[in-house]
Amino acid sequence: MISRIASYIKANHMVQPGDHVCVGVSGGADSVCLFLVLEELRHSFGFSVSVVHIEHGIRGQESVEDMEFVRTLAGQYGIPFTGKAFEVGQLAREWGCSVEEAGRNVRYQVFGEERERFKGQAKKRGGTVKTAVAHHGDDNAETILFHMCRGSGIEGMAGMHPVRGEIIRPLLCVSRREIEAFLEKKGQVYRTDATNADTSYSRNRIRNCIMPELMQVNGECVGHMNQLASDLLEVSSYLKWQVEAIVNENTQRLADGSVGFRTNGLLGLPPFLQKRVMIELIAQAAGNRKDITREHANALLAAAQGQTGKRVSLPYGLTAETSYGMLLFSAQARKAGQKTAGEALVEGINGKIRFLEGVFLYRMFEISEKDVKIPKNLYTKWFDYDKIKNRLYLRTRKPGDYFTLDKEGHKQKLKDYLMNEKVPKYEREKIPLLSEGAHILWAVGYRISAYYKITEHTKRVLEVQFMEEKA
C-alpha cells in the first residue's frame, strides 16, 4: 500500500525535495495512517513533516484525549506537534453557520498558520509548505454521491482533487478497508469518533446507509466510482483549457470599462461547450463562480442568439446585452446598501462578511504600547484604524489600484506587484482586496500596505481575519 501511495504522490506531483508537509491528524484511523505513511516516505522523498491537530470542543473529555493521543504519537517519532483548541459550537452561533462549516473554517485557518510558520524553513531548502489531509477513496466516493444528490455538474462529479493549491490528499488512491488492514498489521491503535455514526448528518447517512447497499450491488463500486472521478477530472481539465482559450481569444475590455465577448463562431460550437463558455463568461465578469447555474448559462446563450439590444440579468448584479455581434457585460447600478459581486462595504467597527469564496471577520479595538503583539498570520492582519479616513470595501481589483511600499510613501501599482510575484493572470481577478478607494490595505494571501501598519503611535486597531470556505 505504501508503494502505491508513493507512486500516487509522484504521479500527482504532490511534493518536491525540500518541501515541508503539515499533516492534519485527528487521531482517527485515516489520519493516523496518513501520518505513518508520510513519516516513512519523508526520507526517500526529501521532505520534512510536522503534525497539526485541532480540538473542536464538541465531544468533551474524549476530544481532549484525542489531542493527547496525537501529541504522544508525534512525540514517539520525534515529529513537531501543534495542537489548537476551539469552541466550534460557540463559533458557529457567532458566525451564523453550521457546526461543520465552523469546524472547516478553523481547520483551514490553522493550516494556513502552520504553512506560514514553516515557510521560511522550506524556502531555505528550495521547497514550499503543503498541508496533507487524510481523505481516501471511500471519502471520495461518498463526496461524488453527495454532489450528485445536490445537482452537481462535471466538476462536482470529479470528486476531490489530489492537489488543490497547498492541500494534498495522498490517500485518495486507497480504501478505508486497506487503511484499517494496514494499521492492524502494524499494531497501531487509533481513536474512534462516535459522532461518525450519527446519521442526522448527510455525509454520515451516505457512508453508513447508502454505501453498504452499493457494496452489495458490486463490491468494487468504490474503486469504479473513483476511476470515473479520475476520468471526469481529466475531462474537466481539458474542457477548462478549451473554454478559457475561447473566452480569452474573444473577450476584450472596452473604453467605457465594460467587458465584451465576440459571439462570432459561438453558435458553431457544440451545445455543451457553448454553455460552458457562458458560465465562464459570467464567472469572469462576476469574479465568483459560486451559485452560477445552467439556467444562467441558458439565459445568456439565448441572449447571444437574439437581436441587438436583448438584455439579461445575471447573478451578482451583472447585466449582459447584445450589441452587433458582442455580448457586453456591466454591473448594475447599486442601490443604497446593496452589495455586488465585486464589492462589499465594510460597515461598522465589527462584523462578518461573506465575499467571494471566504468569510471575513473584522473588529476594532483599542491598544496600548504594551499590548502590541501583531499576529504573524497570513490570514489575520492588523491595521491602524485612525489612518482610515474613508469607507472600506472588500472587492476585486480595478485599474489604478496601488500599495504604499514603505514609510517614506513610495507606491507600487497592484498590477506590477502581482506580475513581480508571478501570480497567474487568471488568479489575479480572484484575489480579495481590502481597499480605501484605490489604496489597497491588503491583498489577501499576499501583502498589506505599509501606510496602514501598526506603529508605536497606534491607538486603535482594525483586525481583519479571512477564512476560506472549503468543500
Q: Please give the average per-residue pLDDT across 354-362, as a whole number.
A: 85
Looking at residue 372, what is its pLDDT?
64
Question: How far apart, in whole angstroms, are the C-alpha atoms of residue 273 and residue 174?
Answer: 34
CATH 3.40.50.620 maps onto the chain at 2-229
Looking at residue 10, what is its pLDDT?
96
∠ CA 25-31-35 to the nearest 5 degrees? 80
The answer on pLDDT for 234 being more than 80 is yes
Looking at residue 240, what is its pLDDT?
87
Q: Please give the average per-residue pLDDT across 183-192, as a whole number.
A: 94
pLDDT band, residue 440 (cuts 50/70/90): very high
Looking at residue 190, what is its pLDDT?
93
Cell (9 digits) for 437: 478607494
- Sort strands 20-24 and 48-55 into parallel, antiparallel or unpaired: parallel
CATH 3.30.465.60 maps onto the chain at 254-331
Residue with cell 489548537: 84
- Average pLDDT taken over every residue of the chain: 86
Question: How far apart, in whole angstroms, are the C-alpha atoms of residue 268 and residue 290?
Answer: 28
Q: What percent of the chain has pLDDT over 70?
A: 92
Coil, helix or strand for 158?
Answer: coil
Q: Please give the average per-residue pLDDT across 423-451, as a whole number.
A: 86
Query: What is the 3-class SS of 444-471, one letter each residue?
Result: CCCCECHHHCCCCCCCEEEEEEEEECCC
Looking at residue 369, what is its pLDDT?
59
Question: How far apart, in whole angstroms, are the C-alpha atoms of residue 286 and residue 340?
Answer: 9
Torsion of CA 160, 166, 171, 172, to 10 degrees: 20
What is the architecture of the domain spanning 2-229? Answer: 3-Layer(aba) Sandwich (3.40)
Looking at residue 18, what is its pLDDT?
96
Question: How far apart, in whole angstroms, are the C-alpha atoms of residue 450 and residue 83?
Answer: 32
Looking at residue 333, what is its pLDDT?
38
pLDDT band, residue 314 (cuts 50/70/90): confident
Residue in 436, 447, 454, 449 with CA at minimum distance from that of residue 384:
454
Phi, psi of 418 (to 5 degrees): -65, -35
How many other C-beta atoms can be found within 10 angstroms of the C-beta atom of residue 147? 18
Helix orientation angle between 29-45 and 176-186, rounded to the nearest 10 degrees: 70
pLDDT band, residue 336 (cuts 50/70/90): very low
The answer on pLDDT for 38 being more than 90 is yes
The answer on pLDDT for 179 being more than 90 is yes
The answer on pLDDT for 398 being more than 90 is no
∠ CA 305-311-312 to the nearest 5 degrees? 90
The answer on pLDDT for 301 being more than 60 is yes
Coil, helix or strand for 218?
Answer: coil
Query: What is the 3-class SS of 281-340, one letter each residue?
Result: HHHHHHCCCCCCCHHHHHHHHHHHCCCCCCEEEEHHHEEEEECCCEEEEEECCCCCCCCE
Residue with cell 476585486: 396
Q: Are 334 and 317 in contact (CB under 8 A)?
A: yes
CATH topology of domain 254-331: 3.30.465
Cell (9 digits) for 18: 525540500
The answer on pLDDT for 389 being more than 90 is no
Torsion of CA 204, 208, 210, 213, to 10 degrees: 170
Looking at residue 339, what is its pLDDT?
40
Q: Please give the average per-residue pLDDT across 80-84, as a whole number.
A: 93
pLDDT band, residue 471 (cuts 50/70/90): very low
Q: Please give the average per-residue pLDDT across 179-203, as a whole number.
A: 84
Coil, helix or strand for 223?
Answer: helix
Query: pLDDT digits over 140-169, tens only?
Result: 999 999 888 877 778 888 889 999 888 999
For residue 106, what is the DSSP state?
H
Q: 3-state DSSP helix/strand/coil percent for the chain, to nearest 5?
A: 45, 20, 35
The answer on pLDDT for 387 being more than 50 is yes
Q: Please give the average per-residue pLDDT across 418-447, as a whole number.
A: 85
Predicted TM-score (pTM) of the model is: 0.65
Question: How far apart, in whole angstroms, are the C-alpha atoms of residue 314 and residue 332?
Answer: 10
The better pLDDT of the pair 338, 215 is held by 215
The answer on pLDDT for 370 being more than 60 is no
